[in-house]
Amino acid sequence: MSKAAEPTIHQGSCLCGAIKFKVTGQLGAGEMCHCQQCRQWTGHIYASTEVPRMALSIDDESRLKWYPSSKKVRRGFCADCGSPMFFDPIDQEKHQWIAIALGSFTTPTAVKIEQHIFTLEKGDYYEITDGAKQNET
């Protein structure tokens, strides 16, 4: 009798470790957002992966703060160290996913960047040269 495969677990945290999370299952494709809001939020580009909302568990949400950056999304960050961590659509019935900052994972992800979005808003101090798909919006 064969044993069922264990689900893949990916772990991560903010810089200070106050917020720890786990994702059970596969991570989505990597995406880099070049919009003005993401650049101001992170100091550069927001690299993320989307996962089903139900696949994410956060150990202690007491230090997780949310900023509603538009009518459509909110951004989650650590109240202690300021690490940008989550990009969450407000209409959770329409969008069953949440985006997680790739830099917040503490275990290997094997994620590859597949696309760049909002490239019309990219900063003037860098070029996109990795060959991944580019979307202007």
User: Is-contact 102 84, C-beta < 8 A?
Assistant: no
Report pLDDT digits (tens) over 78-118: 999 999 999 999 988 888 999 999 999 999 999 999 999 99
pLDDT of residue 7: 73
User: Is-contact 75 88, C-beta < 8 A?
Assistant: yes
- Asked whether the whole model's pTM tops 0.85, one would answer yes
Report pLDDT digits (tens) over 6-54: 779 999 999 999 999 999 999 999 999 999 999 999 999 999 999 999 9
Identify the band that residue 4 occupies on the pLDDT scale cut at 50, 70 and 90: low
**Residue boundaries of the structural domains of the chain:** 9-123
pLDDT of residue 97: 96
Q: Give the span between the Cα atoms of 100 and 51, in whole angstroms.
A: 8
Fold for 9-123, please state it: glutathione-dependent formaldehyde- activating enzyme (gfa) (3.90.1590)
Task: Name the average pLDDT for the chain.
Answer: 95
